[in-house]
Structure 1
Amino acid sequence: MTTERSPQRADGWTAAVRQRLGLGRLLPLGGAVDGAWIAETAAASVLRGAAVAGAVLGSLRIGPARAALGTDTRAEPGGTAEAGPAVPPAPPSALPPGPVSIEAEFRAAGDRPLPDVAADLRAALVSAAATRLGLEVAEVDLRVTALLEDDAPDQVTEPDAPSPSVPVAEAAGPVAEAAAAVPGVLSLTRVMGPAVHTAEDHIRVEVATAGDRRALDVARSVRSAVSAAAADGLPVSVLVTDVVEVPAGTP
């Protein structure tokens, strides 16, 4: 049966699917007990700042490490085999905790040996993933697509495709307010559903974080704050949907 509101409902459903797909893969931050994930688009935006002199970074994808393919490393929700802290389930379609791989293309300057440029770029990507995000990178596959002209800039990156807008959510209720008050949280978001999703066995919180703080550290603090604010003792997971660079000098 159709109604006058059916087109609007269909449009809303389509927009929600586009927003979800726009996040890319959901990548694990830290280990299983950290209960934290980050959208691939958010992680890639940070890694694009890791370009080195003589390289123009092109396409960049982040996915499971080859060693992890075919291996289910997910912990059982509610606890571990050693009766450690309760571990929340991963968000829908998220990669299980474990190392990731980076695949990237770049153009290289002709005045440096290509192996040297590739080694510098690989090291910069691994460092940025660890220090700014909290991603464990097992491998970086790089492919040179072209040589730069002599007058090309020393360090540039190709412009990113327009990022999908991440809908901001209001902090409604004590749990949401606790998450929003954590240093490094710029806003709550609502891509996978409400900003605070409460199920029978876990709580999931969506946030956008500031680029001057490591995403994993912020996610851990959000988990602690939400666990303290929630009275039911459910395990908490955090999904970072966006990382926003904050201008220098911003309080």
Structure 2
Amino acid sequence: MTTARDPQRVDGWTAAVRQRLGLGRLLPLGGPADGAWIAETAAAAVLRGATARPGTVLGKLRIGPTEAAVQAAVAGGAGGASRGAAGAPPPPAPPNALPSVALRIEAEFSTTPDRPLPDAAAALRAALLTAAATRLGLEIAEVDLTVTALLADGATDQVTGAETGSPAPGAKPEGPVAAAAAGVPGVVSLTRVLGGPVHTAHDHVRVEVATAGDRRALDVARSVRTAVAAASKEARLPVSVLVTDVVEPGSNG
């Protein structure tokens, strides 16, 4: 049996799949009670921008669970992911998101030979940890750096690496819950990568947002949760937030 398919529908479905895959891993922000996640691509873009400095070129960068967290998951350990505020269960994670576990940054970089490699690595590691904590709210337990090349004198200091992909599609706020989320300071727009910008299920509410780069993503997500909980008719449903993009000041995001 052959079924005719509308090319426009197929193209739309393909674009949606690519958009979801383009998020990378969905990383936990803060702890289990915070109910917030961020797309790996969004987090990596912030880290790249925050660590750009003369004499160092950042290459491949990935963020994921530590080996200990993976082993605990394989062994059936929750690693604290089942605990929320006052013992309450935390909001459900977005589809295929990582639970609240310790995270690890793996990155490759090149540097100039006029500086000892241990010093260059230490400076980059410190910059990554600082940016992850102060710009995003990621709880990073480990940073693994690999030197891939020495830069010649006069070489460009341009940060390179995997493309971050196109920004998540924005969505107009519809309804009081969406309007409440969109009105939170630090929210640039609502987004709709995993579906609608506001997803209401029988056991939770999930909101997708793009946040401003001059505000800590975790702080914005917490404020969104508070605003949505206050505006929602389902007052007792837990609220989770997914940050799909971080928009730097002056960008077109």
Whether TM-score is above 0.5 comes out as: yes
**Secondary structure of the residue that 1:42 maps to in structure 2?**
helix
Work out the percentage of aligned pairs sharing the same amino acid.
Answer: 68
The answer as to whether partners of 1:74 and 1:96 remain within 8 angstroms in 2 is no
Per-residue deviation, residues 157-199 of structure 1 (Å, max 9, x unmatched): 1265252231111100000000000000000000001000000
Counterpart of 1:42 in structure 2 is 42
Structure 1 residues 94-103 or 158-167, which shifts more?
158-167
- Which of residues 107, 119, 130 is equivalent to 1:116? 119
Distance 2:90 2:98 in 1: 15
The answer as to whether partners of 2:103 and 2:140 remain within 8 angstroms in 1 is yes
Counterpart of 2:17 in structure 1 is 17
Counterpart residue type for residue 135 of structure 2: R
| TM-score, L = length of structure 1 | 0.91
Counterpart of 2:211 in structure 1 is 209
Structure 1 residues 47-56 or 20-29, which shifts more?
47-56
Counterpart of 1:58 in structure 2 is 59
Counterpart of 2:75 in structure 1 is none
**Secondary structure of the residue that 1:234 maps to in structure 2?**
coil
Would you identify which runs of 4 or more consecutive aligned residues in structure 1 move more than 4 Å?
1-5
Distance 1:231 1:240 in 2: 23
Alignment of 1:75-224 (within 5 A): 75-76=81-82, 80=84, 83-153=86-156, 155-158=157-160, 160-161=162-163, 163-224=165-226
Deviation at 1:86, TM superposition (A): 4.6
Structure 2: gaps spanning 5 or more residues: 73-77
Per-residue deviation, residues 22-75 of structure 1 (Å, max 9, x unmatched): 000000000000000000000000000213442111111111111211323364
**Secondary structure of the residue that 1:150 maps to in structure 2?**
coil
Distance 1:112 1:217 in 2: 37
Counterpart residue type for residue 157 of structure 1: V
**How many pairs were matched up?**
244
Distance 1:129 1:29 in 2: 10
CA pair 101-30 structure 1, distance change in 2 beyond 3 A? same
Q: Compute the RMSD of aligned alpha carbons.
A: 1.9
**Secondary structure of the residue that 2:87 maps to in structure 1?**
coil
Structure 1: gaps spanning 5 or more residues: none
